[in-house]
């Protein structure tokens, strides 16, 4: 379809700057990005003429990557001719970038080789951000109390800090605030004082001159390269990315003196004349260091007119000759006249085209292409007065040629802007079914130089739009787009990112909106909350974008996202902005007081001043296990959480809000296990009065903590001294010595946590009283016996008795009789002559003084024999024998009782046989008690009659005859009944008086009285027979 003159369109696409068409910002970015790349490559003497075309083979892209990464890429193909060689080169460059941790999303080597301009611009922008803006921001030392700034925000913050004290004031953006050139001049003057004074007084109606002067001043005084021209800034609304590149150069700029002609002087090199398309050997250029320029290369060539271009080596190299080839669109080779200039080191190439269309210039050395070796030149028809430079301003832009969200049976609009050019515009659209007819393509001229074009695709697939002006393809021609059969559906929009949840105030919060699978539609978004939040959009150019907002007050923010006027899934989102530094964490779950294993520990968060959000809390136990601690709303300003520790030791509580730790976090909390504290020992069960009672306390496995003990007597509530003796880090001994019996309470605290109290009964074993025949060392068998136990003074409520065989511990049955509360009588009978043990247990404990050993004695087997048992004679020894050989172990006991005390002598004459002797001194009936092991034997007591025997005067003794008037007669051993006859005469007369007194023991006292006591004759008869030596003569 052909159209005369020009038309204007109001059709536009959404972009980061409203009202800027995609083609316009692409054009500006292409220029600024190319200039930036060339600025990086100037030390390598490599130059990009066309950003898209010149990196397709990967060589110059590798050079750029090597400069940026300061590394060398080995073994790449320096003369790629085939597509696989180019793909391999590009892949090596991308791999090197990826190793630098630069994220390349949705970009492959084929996109570069195929010349995808949008993705190539995205690649260069990524490199600029990483190696220019980010590094410049870091090196400039931009700091403050705000974290998480994007490169754009950091750059703006730095610019604001530099101009905040300047009369012109700080900027609020990176675009329109710099459009009049005054702030560029002001920034130049701040960084290089005196370089541009009174910048704020520049005339506002001289914007172009202001821009030109300020850009020039920045270049001269600060060395800031001219990445933007005044035309770039004034041609349309400022492209933000291009401005960011330019302004970031100021971050590291230093004042310096530069002359405007420095670059021109560096490019002067030796030149020689060339002829016949071949240059002499002595002025050739290396493959990497060559500039090709001039109208014959840059455009404006007409059919039939002679034109020329120039080859200028940067470094002379006397190597191989150069050959220049020129071919037309029909494949015919044209003659090229090559003329050297030896003084300037310049090679001039001239030719005369014979047909219109795209011509190709190739430069080779010994038939090998030199990089860059191929140049495309558009030749115009002879009747067309426009040159290629004029046609280069013709632009086609809009969804119909850019390929953004094109769908079946939906209008695909685009705009063609021919500017002020006069000529013929041709538009042809070819779809999957062939070219569209005129009725399917609607073209309207809406303004001078602008055409509004719309076509409605009826079949999904690729559509190619060809736009020529005066027969010459416009830049970007042909345009190929993909039409999808998908219809816009908000349910397919994906929104993700931490910014949807929230974050810290004064920090950048970001989320991503992805509409690539949603079909045709537009995005609307709003953020409502306690403070206004300006949103920053970064379009990825692939149907997705990043949204960054910056809350400055705590609270909930509602994020509303709609696609085609319909809420996307999850919209509206509620994001919480918080200030974690103002949240206060407390509670027993965070205190120095220990937590208990298995018990819930509470945490409280006061979020009145910090704002509330989802709390991130983890508890790392002493064994290294990590548990998430959930939180719930306790009230309007308080959150509560809890955890249950499972292991003793030190646990760590880490609490944060959106990744920022709360004050004091992480918290170290001791955890103990009181159940692991072991309390044992005899002194825990029962205590002994005045004894060293010991209790063992072990804390191994219970966790960290100190041990404290208190002991109290229950009756008086007085404290008892108790010693705490450490034996090791985890073992202690408690020693106490009470002075009276009773109940005592022991309280043990571990790590300030009280264990269950212990009730200890203290007893006095010495207070027990045990009496009765049943506890004698020897107890008769087959005879009931008993003993009595009185424990009223022991402090024990109950005494337990056991009677057992000592060798087998078999129990002996007994009966128990209660005599009073603490007194009991125990009756039992032994059946065998064996050793037995009687134990009296106080509160279940056995004590030495209440342990009695007895021997069972079989008394029926004890035999007594001998004459001394039948009777005895006074003063004559009586004898008898006791045989205990069959009675078991035991001792003999003898007691002889009668008219007079009579000693008894017992002698063991053989094993178990004893001889008993006694000598009675008085007649009468004597009783003999015989015991075996303190028990009377059978038949005891035995009765023994003792008599005096027949009278025997020879055994009568008369004494004390010399005593005047008296003497003694002793008939104790003389037998008889006691008939004593006494006669006393003097020399002349018998005794006037004689008295005989019986003393009761067969001794007699005789008293007499004589008239003539000089010679006395005394006659003594016993039972009528004179005693020995009677009569007795006594002389006084």
- 305 backbone dihedrals φ, ψ, rounded to 5°: -100, 140
775: β partners: none
Q: Euclidean distance between the first and final Cα of the chain, in Å?
A: 203
398: β partners: none
The Cα–Cα gap between 251 and 155 comes to 8
Greatest Cα-to-Cα distance within the chain, rounded to the nearest angstrom: 224
pLDDT on residue 13: 26
- Token readout for 233 is 């800034």
How many Cβ atoms sit within 10 Å of the Cβ of residue 864? 19
pLDDT on residue 926: 92
The Cα–Cα gap between 414 and 444 comes to 11
pLDDT on residue 237: 64
The Cα–Cα gap between 953 and 961 comes to 18
| Residue 910 vs residues 246, 457, 608, 883: alpha-carbon distances, Å | 134, 143, 106, 9
Give residues with Cβ within 8 angstroms of 265, minimum separation 6: none
pLDDT digits (tens, 9 = 90+) for 974-991: 888 788 899 999 888 899
Task: Please answer whether residues 204 and 211 qualify as being in contact, where contact means their C-beta atoms are separated by less than 8 angstroms.
Answer: no
Rg (CA), the chain: 66
DSSP state of 766: G
37 by DSSP, 3-state: which? helix
Length of the chain counted residue by residue:
1036
pLDDT digits (tens, 9 = 90+) for 764-816: 999 999 999 999 888 888 889 999 999 999 988 889 999 999 988 899 999 99
Q: Which secondary structure element, helix H or strand E, spans residue 632, and what is its range?
A: strand 631-633
Task: Please answer whether residues 968 and 960 qualify as being in contact, where contact means their C-beta atoms are separated by less than 8 angstroms.
Answer: yes
Strands lying side by side in the sheet with 307-313: 290-293, 307-313, 346-351, 337-341
Of the candidates 28, 50, 295, 252, which has an alpha carbon nearest to the alpha carbon of residue 139?
Answer: 252
The Cα–Cα gap between 977 and 886 comes to 44
Mind spelling out the 3-state secondary structure of 234-281?
HHCCCCHHHHHHHHHHHHHCCCCCCCCCHHHHHCCCCCCCCECCECCH
Task: Please answer whether residues 946 and 871 qualify as being in contact, where contact means their C-beta atoms are separated by less than 8 angstroms.
Answer: yes
Q: Dump the DSSP string for 815-826.
A: EEEE-SSSEEEE
Residues of the chain falling short of pLDDT 70: 1-25, 105-106, 138-149, 235-237, 256-289, 298-300, 313-321, 342-344, 366-373, 382-389, 404, 438-439, 486-487
- Name the region of 101 (left: φ>0; alpha: ψ -120 to 50; beta: rest): left
| Residue 712 vs residues 246, 682, 720, 793, 975: alpha-carbon distances, Å | 86, 18, 6, 21, 81
Give all domains of the chain, ordered by start, each with its CATH number.
19-145 (1.10.418.10), 147-259 (1.10.418.10), 269-380 (2.60.40.10), 396-483 (2.60.40.10), 490-578 (2.60.40.10), 580-672 (2.60.40.10), 674-763 (2.60.40.10), 765-857 (2.60.40.10), 859-947 (2.60.40.10), 953-1035 (2.60.40.10)
Query: CA torsion angle for 750, 753, 755, 756 (degrees, to 10)?
Result: 170
Task: Please answer whether residues 396 and 416 qualify as being in contact, where contact means their C-beta atoms are separated by less than 8 angstroms.
Answer: yes
The Cα–Cα gap between 368 and 646 comes to 77
The Cα–Cα gap between 142 and 159 comes to 10
The Cα–Cα gap between 368 and 286 comes to 12
The Cα–Cα gap between 630 and 948 comes to 115
pLDDT digits (tens, 9 = 90+) for 385-416: 455 567 778 889 988 898 767 878 888 899 99
Task: Please answer whether residues 385 and 364 qualify as being in contact, where contact means their C-beta atoms are separated by less than 8 angstroms.
Answer: no
Of the candidates 894, 899, 896, 906, which has an alpha carbon nearest to the alpha carbon of residue 874?
Answer: 899
The Cα–Cα gap between 409 and 417 comes to 25
683 by DSSP, 3-state: which? helix
Place of tokens 């946590």: 753
Buried b (16+ CB within 10 A) or exposed e, 72-90: ebeebbeebeeeebbbebb
40-43: Cβ within 8 A, 24+ apart: 40/64, 40/67, 40/68, 41/67, 43/67
């Amino acid at each position: 379809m052909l159209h005369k003159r020009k038309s204007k369109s109001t059709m536009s696409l959404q972009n980061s700057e409203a009202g800027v068409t995609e083609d316009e910002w692409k054009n500006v970015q292409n220029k600024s990005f190319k200039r930036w790349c060339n600025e990086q490559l100037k030390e390598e003497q490599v130059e990009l003429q066309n950003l898209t075309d010149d990196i397709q083979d990967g060589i110059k892209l590798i050079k750029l990557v090597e400069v940026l990464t300061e590394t060398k890429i080995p073994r790449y193909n320096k003369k790629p001719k085939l597509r696989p060689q180019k793909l391999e080169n590009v892949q090596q460059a991308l791999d090197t970038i990826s190793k630098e941790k630069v994220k390349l999303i949705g970009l492959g080597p084929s996109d570069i080789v195929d010349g995808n301009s949008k993705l190539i611009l995205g690649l260069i922008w990524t490199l600029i951000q990483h190696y220019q803006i980010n590094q410049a921001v870091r090196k400039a030392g931009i700091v403050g109390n705000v974290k998480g700034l994007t490169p754009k925000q950091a750059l703006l913050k730095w610019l604001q800090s530099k101009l905040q004290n300047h009369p012109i004031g700080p900027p609020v953006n990176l675009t329109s605030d710099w459009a009049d050139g005054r702030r560029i001049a002001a920034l130049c003057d701040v960084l290089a004082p005196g370089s541009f004074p009174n910048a704020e007084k520049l005339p506002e109606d001289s914007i172009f001159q202001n821009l030109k002067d300020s850009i020039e001043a920045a270049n001269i005084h600060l060395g800031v390269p001219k990445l933007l021209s005044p035309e770039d800034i004034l041609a349309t609304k400022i492209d933000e990315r291009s401005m960011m590149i330019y302004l970031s150069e100021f971050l590291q700029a230093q004042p310096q003196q530069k002359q405007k002609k420095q670059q021109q002087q560096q490019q002067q090199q030796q030149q020689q004349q060339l002829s016949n398309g071949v240059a002499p050997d002595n002025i050739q250029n290396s493959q990497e260091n060559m500039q090709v320029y001039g109208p014959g290369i840059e455009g404006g060539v007409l059919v039939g007119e002679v034109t020329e271009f120039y080859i200028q080596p940067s470094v002379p190299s006397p190597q191989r000759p150069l050959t220049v080839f020129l071919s037309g669109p029909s494949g015919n080779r044209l003659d090229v006249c090559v003329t050297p200039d030896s003084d300037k080191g310049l090679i001039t190439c001239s030719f005369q085209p014979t047909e219109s269309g795209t011509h190709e210039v190739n430069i080779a050395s010994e038939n090998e292409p030199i990089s860059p070796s191929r140049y495309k030149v558009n030749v115009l028809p002879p009747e067309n007065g426009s040159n290629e430079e004029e046609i280069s301003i013709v632009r086609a832009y809009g969804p119909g040629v850019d390929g953004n969200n094109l769908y079946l049976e939906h209008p695909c609009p685009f705009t063609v802007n021919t500017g002020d050019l006069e000529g013929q515009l041709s538009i042809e659209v070819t779809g999957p079914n062939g070219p569209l007819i005129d009725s399917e393509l609607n073209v309207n001229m809406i303004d001078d130089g602008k055409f509004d074009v719309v076509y409605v695709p009826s079949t999904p697939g690729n559509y190619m739009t060809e736009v020529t002006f005066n027969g010459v393809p416009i830049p970007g021609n042909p345009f190929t787009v993909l039409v999808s059969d998908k219809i816009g559906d908000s349910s397919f929009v994906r929104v993700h990112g931490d910014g949807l949840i929230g974050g810290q105030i004064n920090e950048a919060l970001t989320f991503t909106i992805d509409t690539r699978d949603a079909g045709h539609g537009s995005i609307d978004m709003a953020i409502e909350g306690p403070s206004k939040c300006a949103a920053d959009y970064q379009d990825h150019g692939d149907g997705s974008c990043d949204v960054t907002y910056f809350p400055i007050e705590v609270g909930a923010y509602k994020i509303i996202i709609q696609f085609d006027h319909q809420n996307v899934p999850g919209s509206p989102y509620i994001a919480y902005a918080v200030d974690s530094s103002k949240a206060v964490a407390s509670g027993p779950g965070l205190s120095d007081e220990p937590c208990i294993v298995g018990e819930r520990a509470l945490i409280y968060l006061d979020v009145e001043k910090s704002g509330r959000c989802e709390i991130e809390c983890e508890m790392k136990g002493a064994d290294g296990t990590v548990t998430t601690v959930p939180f719930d709303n306790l009230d309007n300003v308080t959150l509560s959480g809890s955890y249950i520790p499972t292991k003793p030791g030190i646990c760590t509580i880490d609490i944060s809000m959106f990744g920022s730790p709360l004050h004091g976090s992480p918290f170290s909390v001791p955890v103990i296990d009181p159940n692991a504290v072991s309390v044992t020992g005899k002194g825990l069960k029962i205590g002994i009065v005045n004894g060293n009672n010991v209790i063992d306390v072990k804390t191994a496995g219970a966790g960290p903590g100190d041990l404290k003990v208190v002991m109290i007597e229950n009756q008086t509530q007085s404290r008892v001294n108790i010693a705490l003796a450490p034996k090791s880090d985890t073992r202690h001994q408690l020693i106490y010595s009470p002075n009276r019996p009773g109940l005592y309470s022991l309280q043990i605290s571990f790590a300030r946590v009280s264990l269950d109290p212990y009730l200890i009964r203290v007893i006095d074993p010495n207070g027990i009283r045990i009496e009765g025949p049943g506890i004698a060392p020897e107890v008769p068998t087959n005879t009931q016996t008993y003993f009595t136990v009185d424990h009223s003074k022991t402090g024990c409520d109950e005494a337990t008795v056991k009677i057992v065989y000592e060798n087998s511990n078999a129990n002996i049955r007994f009966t128990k009789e209660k005599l009073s509360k603490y007194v009991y009588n125990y009756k039992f009978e032994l059946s065998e002559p064996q050793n037995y043990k009687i134990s009296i247990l106080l509160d279940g404990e056995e004590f030495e003084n209440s342990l009695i050993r007895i021997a069972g004695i079989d008394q029926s087997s004890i035999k007594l024999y001998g004459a001394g048992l039948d009777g005895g004679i006074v003063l004559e020894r009586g004898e008898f024998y006791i045989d205990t050989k069959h009675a078991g172990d035991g001792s003999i006991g003898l007691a002889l009782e009668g008219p007079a005390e009579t000693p008894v002598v017992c002698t063991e004459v053989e094993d178990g046989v004893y001889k008993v002797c006694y000598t009675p001194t008085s007649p009468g009936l004597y009783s003999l008690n015989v015991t075996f092991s303190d028990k009377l034997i059978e038949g005891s007591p035995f009765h023994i009659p003792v008599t005096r025997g027949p009278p025997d005067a020879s055994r009568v003794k008369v004494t004390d005859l010399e005593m005047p008037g008296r003497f003694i007669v002793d008939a104790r051993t003389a037998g008889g009944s006691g008939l004593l006859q006494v006669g006393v005469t003097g020399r002349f007369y018998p005794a006037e008086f004689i008295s005989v007194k019986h003393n009761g023991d067969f001794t007699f006292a005789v008293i007499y009285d004589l008239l003539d006591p000089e010679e006395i004759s005394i006659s003594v008869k016993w039972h009528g027979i004179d005693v020995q030596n009677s009569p007795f003569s006594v002389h006084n």
